Amino acid sequence: MTTYEESINWLFEQFPAYQKIGAVAYKPDLSNTLSLCKQLNIDFNQLQYIHVAGTNGKGSTSNMIASICMERGLKTGLFTSPHIHDFRERILVDGKQISEERIVSFCQQIRNLTLEVRPSFFEITWALTLTYFIESNCEICVIETGLGGRLDSTNIISPILSVITNIGMDHVAILGDTLEKIACEKAGIIKTSIPVVIGETLPETISVFETSAKSHNSTIFWAEKEEFTNTFHFPNESYQWKNERTVRTAMRALNCLGFEFSETQINAGIENTNKNTGFKGRFEIINQNPLTIIDVAHNVDGIKQLLRTVESSVTGQLHIVYGTSSDKDLDSILSLFPRDAKFYLTEFSSERSAKIADLRKSAETIGLNATYFSKMKEAVETAQQSANKTDTILITGSFFLISDFF
C-alpha cells in the first residue's frame, strides 16, 4: 500500500512543481485544469468562493477571511500555498488539515487513470482541493491563487467576491516586467458582475483595475478609501494593518451581498486567525529573550514592509538570518537591510536556494558584514549564541527557509 510520504514524493517528483523547480514549472493555460476536473467529474460550480490574489499579503488575507467565516459558523474551506512544513497545510476545512489517507487515495486515483493531459503538481493539488471541499459540504471556500491570477489554475472558479491585495515586482519572468503588466495578470480574477476589493494601489495600477472592472461590470471596493471607526487588531505601523484593512473591506463587500458578518465576528476572526487556521510565519514571535521573529517575506515589497514593522519593535542589536530563492534580486533586497545589523546568510534545503557564493557576492558588493552558512539551523544557532537577551533576531527570506526552521 502506498504511504503518505510516497504519495507526496510522487506529487512533487512526477509532475513539475513551482515550489521545487521554479518558473519552468509554470504552465500559462487553464486547459489542463478544466480537462482534469471534467475527467474526475468535479462540479466546482456548486461551491461558493472568495478568490484572493496579490503580490504580498494574500496568505494573511485569506487566512483572516477564513477565520472570520469560521467565527460566523460557516463551514469553511481554505486553500493556500505554499506550505511551510506539511503539504496538508494547503487544504483546510474549518481549520483542520486534510487527512493523509485522503491524499493517498486521491493520488492513487490519479495514478490509476489514463489521463487526457499531463497535469502539474499544482493542478493535481487544486483538483484534490475542490474534490475535498465538495465532499466536506463547505459553505464558503477561501481560495488563494498560486501565481498571478489570469492564468492561475484556480481561476476556473466564479467567486462571489474577488480580492486583490496589492501589486509589486515579483515573478517578473512569468508575470511581466512592469507593475502594469503584473496588475493585468492579477486583475484576471475579476469576473463579470462580481465585486472586487482592491487592497492597495499604486499610480501605475489604478487604471488597470478600473479598466478591468468596468469591462466586467464589476463594482470596486477600494480598501484605501474605506473609513473604519473601530480599533484594528494590528498596530498601524505593522504591515498586517494593511491586510486587516483589506479584510475588513472584504467583509463590508460581503455584507452588501447579503451576508451578515457582525463586528464581533470580524474582530474575533482576525484576533483568532492563528488559532483557527494554524497560520504561521507572518511576524511570528517565537521567543522573547532575545526577541525572535520569523517571517516569510521574500520579495522587495514584502521585505520593505517587514523592516518597517521591525523598526517599530526592535530592541538592542538586530541579528538577521536570511536566505532566499535563486531567482530573487539579491542586490535589491540586501540593499534594503540596515547596515548596522549583524547578518547570517544561509542556504536552505530546497534545490531552489540561492547559493553561498551568490549571497557573498551581493553582500560584499553592498558592503554588508555577514557570515555564511550551508545550513539554516546553524545560522540560527550562531545568531542565538551571538545575541544577548535584549537583542532582536529576525529570520526571513523565504517559505523554504522557515520550513527548515520548523
Q: What is the DSSP string of 278-306?
A: ---SSSEEEEETTEEEEE---SHHHHHHH
Tell whether the model's pLDDT for residue 21 goes beyond 70: no
What distance, in Å, lies between the first and last C-alpha atoms of the chain?
29
pLDDT number for residue 174: 60
pLDDT number for residue 274: 95
Alpha helical stretches, state H, 113-161: 121-135
Is the CATH number 3.40.190.10 carried by domain 284-405? no
How far is Cα 319 from Cα 323, in angstroms, rounded to an integer? 13
> Coil, strand or helix: which one is 365?
helix
How far is Cα 354 from Cα 357, in angstroms, rounded to an integer? 8
Tell whether the model's pLDDT for residue 132 goes beyond 90: yes
Tell whether the model's pLDDT for residue 257 goes beyond 90: yes
Inter-CA distances, 245 with 198, 227, 240, Å: 10, 9, 9
How far is Cα 152 from Cα 166, in angstroms, rounded to an integer? 17
In this structure, which amino acid lies at residue 150?
A: R
pTM: 0.90
Q: What is the average pLDDT score of the chain?
A: 91
How far is Cα 36 from Cα 305, in angstroms, rounded to an integer? 39
pLDDT tens digits along 374-402: 999 999 999 999 999 999 999 999 888 88
Q: Which residues pair with 343 in a beta bridge?
A: 320, 370
The pairing of beta strand 76-79 with beta strand 91-93: antiparallel
Cβ(161)–Cβ(257) under 8 Å? yes
pLDDT number for residue 328: 87
Residue 176 banded pLDDT, cuts 50, 70, 90? low
The predicted model gives 191-205 an average pLDDT of 96
pLDDT tens digits along 286-304: 999 999 999 999 888 889 9
**For the chain, where do the domains classified as CATH 3.40.1190.10 start and end?**
4-277
CA 23, 25, 29, 34 torsion: positive or negative?
negative
How far is Cα 226 from Cα 256, in angstroms, rounded to an integer? 14
pLDDT tens digits along 55-64: 889 999 999 9
Residue 355 banded pLDDT, cuts 50, 70, 90? very high
pLDDT number for residue 27: 52
Look at 47-61, 113-127, 258-272 and tell me which has the smallest mean pLDDT: 113-127
- Percentage above 90 pLDDT, the chain: 73
**For the chain, where do the domains classified as CATH 3.90.190.20 start and end?**
284-405
Tell whether the model's pLDDT for residue 32 goes beyond 70: yes
How far is Cα 200 from Cα 296, in angstroms, rounded to an integer? 20
How far is Cα 3 from Cα 181, in angstroms, rounded to an integer? 43
Q: Which residue has the higher pLDDT, 404 or 215?
A: 215
How far is Cα 128 from Cα 124, in angstroms, rounded to an integer? 6
Instruction: Please state which architecture CATH assigns to domain 4-277.
Output: 3-Layer(aba) Sandwich (3.40)
Tell whether the model's pLDDT for residue 211 goes beyond 90: yes
